[in-house]
Amino acid sequence: MAGHLSYFEFGTPDVAVASRFYAELFGWKVQAQEHGGSIDPGEAAPGTPAVPGGLHRDPGPPQHYLYFAVDDIEVAMKRVVELGGEVEPMRPPTEQWGTFVECRDNQGLAFGLHVPPRPKD
């Protein structure tokens, strides 16, 4: 299991307002998407990979999601449950973004598992 941060996402009632805020604060480039936007954080510190992210419309209170890379999402989901956590139904995988599933640890803290998309040849 890899375990490094591989994707982040912000759920917000107003994607346009959030896009402007983070673009002005951090210089992030946000591309509009059907359900929100994809975030290009630009260059990270030397030797540190930039982590891609996204924004989506969420009618509830604003929140953030952190996704951690795993090699096998099914194995990781089973392990979460074995350790006393909970797993939501897995989203259908996409070629562009990979596979995501939201979880809660054994104390209720939300996090996600992610299998990034395969690099294109």
Whole-prediction pTM value? 0.81
3-state secondary structure 60-113: CCCEEEEEEECCCHHHHHHHHHHCCCEECCCCCCECCCEEEEEEECCCCCEEEE
Q: What is the mean pLDDT of the chain?
A: 86
Query: What pLDDT, on a 0 to 100 scale, did the predictor assign at position 1?
Result: 54
Percentage of the chain lying above the pLDDT 70 cut: 91
CATH topology of domain 5-94+108-115: 2,3-Dihydroxybiphenyl 1,2-Dioxygenase; domain 1 (3.10.180)
Who has greater pLDDT, 112 or 120? 112
58, 11 in Cβ contact below 8 A? Answer: yes
Q: Where are the domains of the chain?
A: 5-94+108-115
Per-residue pLDDT tens digits for 92-102:
898 888 999 99
Residue 45 has pLDDT above 70, yes or no: no
Cα–Cα dist 69/112, whole Å: 9
